[in-house]
Amino acid sequence: MLTTDDHSRDSAGLLYVYPVVSRRAGGVSIGINLNPNNACNWACLYCQVDNLTRGGPPPLDLPRLERELETFLRDVLHGDFMTRHVPPEARRLMDVAFSGNGEPTSAAEFPEAIAAVADVLEHCGLRGKLPVRLITNGSLLHRPQVQAGIRLLAECGGEVWFKVDRALDAEVAEINGVPGSQDKVLKNLQLCADLAPTWVQTCWFSLDGKVPSDESRQAYCDLLRQVSGKLQGVHLYGLARPSQQPAAPRLAAVTPDELTAFGRQIEKETGIRVIVTP
């Protein structure tokens, strides 16, 4: 049985397509993994990908992606996949999500991959009915092909979940493994929200036994306040699955009360609605 604690990318024995039971989606999410080589341009301390490396994905086999997704979708919709693999309380198909083992927008064929998924949903009678989500770190929004893919996502009725874990540059550098730049994050977030409905997703946790500081929380609110009128909301969530990175022993979940309190602070200071998932 699939559980929220296991997001294995090879559970279906496929290269690009994998099912998960998602806490935030609220049921079964069909994942699209464009980075089967475990390569990403970020290196987040909490990442659950084993053998994570820096870089981008190999060339995509788009016909294979289409075949895998259509075959799997038909098993979910018309076969016995749900009864064989999903707990009764989660037997709801919620979305198709570009996520996987690295940054999906780093694929050179990213717009074509969005189009391929849209075509499969059309064939299955699900285009415009089953949400398509892009889960991204947002760092490549300056690329025209990424903008084209997100624009197409919006045309399919999809949305973006844009990662903003922290706002202070030093914290971004430590947690996400990239140079922090509030100006760049703000510019990319504004651009993304202009192209497609956009949520911010934030993983909130303690590091080395310390919860994020008052300064960290305030900087985060100050950043999001500048785009408050453009965002759909914030998905604020805690650690659920163990990190596969060397820093794993340094990480710990914050309490549900701490997470809820920060969610209320965000709503009060920015006016943005927050969905909290401990």
For the stretch 4-27, pLDDT in tens is 555 455 556 899 999 998 776 678
User: Mean pLDDT over residues 185-194, rounded?
Assistant: 98
- How far CA 24 is from CA of 20, 255, 269, 277, in Å, comes to 11, 18, 23, 7
pLDDT, tens digit, for every residue of 86-118?
989 889 999 999 999 999 999 999 999 999 999
**The pair of three-digit structure tokens given for residue 278, joined into one six-digit string:** 């401990």
Taking the domain 17-277, which CATH number applies?
3.20.20.70
* pLDDT above 50: residue 212: yes
- pLDDT one-digit tens code per residue, 132-170: 999 999 999 999 999 999 999 999 999 999 999 999 999
Nearest-angstrom CA–CA distance, 151 and 172: 27
- Give the strand pairing for 198-203 and 159-163: parallel
Query: What residues does each domain of the chain span?
Result: 17-277
Encode pLDDT of 234-274 as tens digits.
999 999 889 999 999 999 999 999 999 999 999 999 999 99
Q: Calculate the average pLDDT of the chain.
A: 94
The pLDDT of residue 7: 45
Distances (CA, A) of 197 to 14, 15, 99, 134, 151: 30, 28, 17, 11, 10
Pairing verdict, β 274-277 and 198-203: unpaired
What's the CA angle centered on 102, arms 31 and 253, to 5 degrees? 85
pLDDT at 128 (0 to 100)? 92
For residue 65, what is the DSSP state?
H
Alpha carbon distances (Å) from 21 to 40, 70, 72, 121: 23, 19, 15, 20
DSSP 72: H
Residue recorded with tokens 């080589």: 37
Helix (H) or strand (E) holding 161: strand 159-163
Helix (H) or strand (E) holding 96: strand 93-98
Strands 251-253, 205-207: parallel, antiparallel or unpaired by DSSP? antiparallel
Tokens representing 4 are 């929220």
The whole-angstrom separation of Cα 164 and Cα 227 is 13
The first and second tokens of residue 259, run together, are: 């997470």
pLDDT the model gives residue 55: 96
How does DSSP classify residue 137? -
- The Cα 127–Cα 119 span in angstroms is 8
| 3-21: burial string, b at 16+ Cβ within 10 Å, e else | eeeebebeebebebbbbbb
pLDDT of res. 221: 98
